[in-house]
Structure 1
Amino acid sequence: MSGDAGDKSHKATPKRMKQLRHDGALQRSQDLSAWLGMGVAAMTLSAVLATGTANAVQQLTVVRAIIANPDPAVAVQALFDGTTTILPAIAPLLVVVVIAAIGGSAAQGGIYFSTKKLKPTFKQFNLVKGLKRVFGGQAWWQGLKALLKTIVVAGVLFVTVKNITPMLLTSGGLSLHQVLDLAAGGVADLMRTAVAAGLILAVFDILVIRKTNRKQTMMSTQEIKQESKSSEGDPLLKGAIRSKQLAMSRNRMMAAIATADVVLVNPTHVAVALKYEPGHGAPRVVAKGSGHVAARIRAEATAKRVPMVADVPLARALNAACKLGQEVPEDLFVQVAKILAFVMSLRRRGAAQGVHTVPDRRAA
């Protein structure tokens, strides 16, 4: 048993993975959401700057005037005007960035928010696990990833600044609006190039995290058996429930015998109770059974004064062909009709109670 429990060689079941996602126990790449958000920002930056550059120039002019002639009231008003001007311009940018970040999280298995990770537990203070987090393979990957991101951003920044510096140095004849456009274009190029490289790193990060998640969520044979048992329920409890349901079904069946028109018997091994309702098609089986169930049906029929007819072939045929509540099959209509006619004649004479034999059967 202990060997099975320690041998975690099975992939996690869908139920286990769903529970781990719900609990926030699975690692996710934070880089994907961040780079997607930055990528969307880079794509929408030009549209935002098209409406925001003129406002920025106007605000810079106001700031320059305030510096030349300081006035607190004018400065506060300028701050308010600048805020109300800039926020509507960048609001669409913020919205699409948030949507992109959420999309990056959803792409890694759906959106889940769990408070379980926020609750302090003793496992969080486990020294051995803490050292593994600091010096383990995951920590080395995080360090390497941070180094690669630094190299990528620094390289892209260097190339972008190198390209834009000569243009800025020779921009003496350009207006402030043109200088801002030039700087914004450089920033957009920087962001797009950085995002392209960052997304490549994010793909590798996702692959590493998936491999780590698979390794950490492996299940033992015993864990799979335990999950299966908990999903299906305790066999003893399920057996007790089935027994109770069967008993309730039989009690309802026994209660229906009182409404039957006749009970066909075999004469001791099989019993089938039939009820005919005019306008409802063929007679219907309201009770059936063999062995001790047949004995109970006969006893109930005797107690409720329901006539019984001994017809071995017909009783066996109905017991085999019909389910409880089912109508009599067409090929047995004639034989059942003769039985019902015989029972009606017994009722007219007041001699229906007890076990009877159809006259033509007795003659045969």
Structure 2
Amino acid sequence: MADSPGGEKTEKPTPQRLKKARGEGQIPRTQELGTWMGAVAASFLLPMMASSSFEAAGQLFGQIGQIARTPDVSAIEHLLGEALSSFLGAALPLAAGVLVVGVMSSAVQGGVVFASKPVKPSFSKINPFPGLKRMFGGHGLWEVTKALLKTIAIAVAILLTVSDVKALVASSGSMPLSVVAGVFTDSALMMIRVAALTGLVLAVADYAVVRFQQMKKLKMSHYEIKQEHKQQEGDPHVKGHRRAVALAQARNRMMTDVTTADVLLTNPTHVAVALKYSPAFGAPKVVAKGSGEVARRLRELAAEHGVPQVRDIPLARALHGSCDIGQEIPPQLFTAVARVLAFVMQLGLKGVKGGVHQPGFTPPDTEGLPVAGRRRATPVAGGGTGAVGGVAAA
């Protein structure tokens, strides 16, 4: 069945589709990871903040007694400034740590991407039906499961730490206040860390679910993949037109180069090859070649511009079949081409310009070279040979 725009989306998203989705902000993320990583970081940073705050508070209370004995408005303002700076200094590490953890949680889930599409107003965002579908569908079921797991994680953390607190409460009357506060603090921190570590495991599972849902949403049909491929590679008609223009430009350059060639070797009617030699070259080069109508046009241009034409069927066919335009001739044909160039030079010394010549040179050794017009023989039934491919010999 032919692919259609409404085909079933069963194929994985292509790299181009994933890149487009990323640019639009469609990246699989879970908020759980940032939340629980922040809780772990806070459990280590809060004691530092509390210690710094208590130390600063002790110093401030000492200054309050001095101000109470000798009240002064400027001293009070100075004390308030110190209190504010002490509070900010104590809270800054906690805020910076939580911020860094939040950025890291986004980075590990696909990096930080600034996309404007998610914040653009859209009717689909206020449409209640997709929300109801998510609420009572698979997404809603997973959210309920997450809530239950988080509740269980917190309950387990409380059960693990409550035993120490019970023992402390039973004997708190015989302990210093600092010891009681320390045990309560350690128990609270332990509870936060146990719950946060359990939450991190849940966050990893949530990320896997979100990623699966996102990849499912981005799946493509065969039709969409073909359309994307067509857009990337270009329309076949446009590509064909570009190819035709490139071939026309190359042919025009070739027609211009034949007018300055040293010699045009002909078949005499089916193929033509123009050669040019310069001391700067390593060997003579093929500057133009063609068969059929192109060969006829090359012969006309050579006649118009006084380029000598030499009829050498084996050499012309060998050069046409073994050399591309701009390529040097193969070493196997050096001797044969040297004879032709020497012959053309002799014509120039005699004042002969252009014309068609047939000097009758000894055929060159073309064994192993592809030759234009030669048929390739292949065994056929009965012990004979048959011709496949190739062009009819001149």
Alpha-carbon distance between aligned partners in 2 of 1:30 and 1:171, rounded to the nearest angstrom: 45
Decide which moves more: 141-150 or 55-64: 55-64
The answer to whether the Cα contact below 8 Å between 1:66 and 1:75 also exists between their aligned partners in 2 is: yes
Alpha-carbon distance between aligned partners in 2 of 1:15 and 1:251, rounded to the nearest angstrom: 39
After TM superposition, give the deviation of residue 118 of structure 1 in Å: 0.5
Q: Give 1:347's aligned amino acid.
A: G
Specify the alignment match of 1:249 in structure 2: 250
Q: Are 1:118 and 2:122 matched, yes or no?
A: no
Specify the alignment match of 1:225 in structure 2: 226
Alpha-carbon distance between aligned partners in 2 of 1:171 and 1:334, rounded to the nearest angstrom: 115
Q: Determine which structure has the larger helix proportion and give its number.
A: 1
Alpha-carbon distance between aligned partners in 2 of 1:192 and 1:278, rounded to the nearest angstrom: 83
After TM superposition, give the deviation of residue 189 of structure 1 in Å: 1.8
Q: Are 1:340 and 2:341 matched, yes or no?
A: yes
Specify the alignment match of 2:208 in structure 1: 207
Q: Deviations over 1:43-89 (max 9, x none)?
A: 45556666555335445666899999998866654443234234445
Alpha-carbon distance between aligned partners in 2 of 1:183 and 1:298, rounded to the nearest angstrom: 104
C-alpha spacing 1:302/1:41, structure 2 compared with 1 (3 Å)? farther
The answer to whether the Cα contact below 8 Å between 2:28 and 2:109 also exists between their aligned partners in 1 is: no
Alpha-carbon distance between aligned partners in 1 of 2:57 and 2:162, rounded to the nearest angstrom: 22
Specify the alignment match of 1:148 in structure 2: 149
SS at 1:327's partner residue?
coil
Specify the alignment match of 1:13 in structure 2: 14
The answer to whether the Cα contact below 8 Å between 1:5 and 1:221 also exists between their aligned partners in 2 is: no
The answer to whether the Cα contact below 8 Å between 2:302 and 2:354 also exists between their aligned partners in 1 is: no
SS at 1:288's partner residue?
strand
After TM superposition, give the deviation of residue 276 of structure 1 in Å: 0.8
C-alpha spacing 1:239/1:61, structure 2 compared with 1 (3 Å)? farther
Q: Give 2:239's aligned amino acid.
A: K
Question: Match for 2:176 among 173, 178, 187?
Answer: 173
Alpha-carbon distance between aligned partners in 1 of 2:184 and 2:73, rounded to the nearest angstrom: 31
Q: CA RMSD in A?
A: 3.3
C-alpha spacing 1:353/1:108, structure 2 compared with 1 (3 Å)? same
Alpha-carbon distance between aligned partners in 1 of 2:163 and 2:145, rounded to the nearest angstrom: 27
Q: Give 1:231's aligned amino acid.
A: Q
SS at 2:259's partner residue?
helix
Structure with higher RCO (Cα < 8 A, 6+ apart): 1
The answer to whether the Cα contact below 8 Å between 1:267 and 1:311 also exists between their aligned partners in 2 is: yes
Q: Give 2:282's aligned amino acid.
A: G
Structure 1, unmatched stretches of 5+, are none
SS at 2:251's partner residue?
helix
Q: Give 2:311's aligned amino acid.
A: A
Aligned length: 360
SS at 1:117's partner residue?
helix
Alpha-carbon distance between aligned partners in 2 of 1:322 and 1:170, rounded to the nearest angstrom: 104
| Within-5 A mapping of 1:154-169 | 154-157=155-158, 159-160=160-161, 163-164=164-165, 167=168, 169=172
The answer to whether the Cα contact below 8 Å between 2:275 and 2:284 also exists between their aligned partners in 1 is: yes
After TM superposition, give the deviation of residue 113 of structure 1 in Å: 2.2
Q: Deviations over 1:153-192 (max 9, x none)?
A: 35424654653465474586345xx676555434432332
Alpha-carbon distance between aligned partners in 2 of 1:246 and 1:238, rounded to the nearest angstrom: 12
Q: Give 2:176's aligned amino acid.
A: G
Decide which moves more: 78-87 or 128-137: 78-87
Alpha-carbon distance between aligned partners in 1 of 2:131 and 2:68, rounded to the nearest angstrom: 54
C-alpha spacing 1:272/1:187, structure 2 compared with 1 (3 Å)? farther
Q: Deviations over 1:106-135 (max 9, x none)?
A: 322333221101001232243432321332
Decide which moves more: 143-152 or 108-117: 143-152
Specify the alignment match of 1:264 in structure 2: 265
Alpha-carbon distance between aligned partners in 1 of 2:143 and 2:337, rounded to the nearest angstrom: 82
C-alpha spacing 1:277/1:58, structure 2 compared with 1 (3 Å)? same
Alpha-carbon distance between aligned partners in 2 of 1:242 and 1:118, rounded to the nearest angstrom: 44
Specify the alignment match of 1:360 in structure 2: 361
C-alpha spacing 1:153/1:249, structure 2 compared with 1 (3 Å)? same
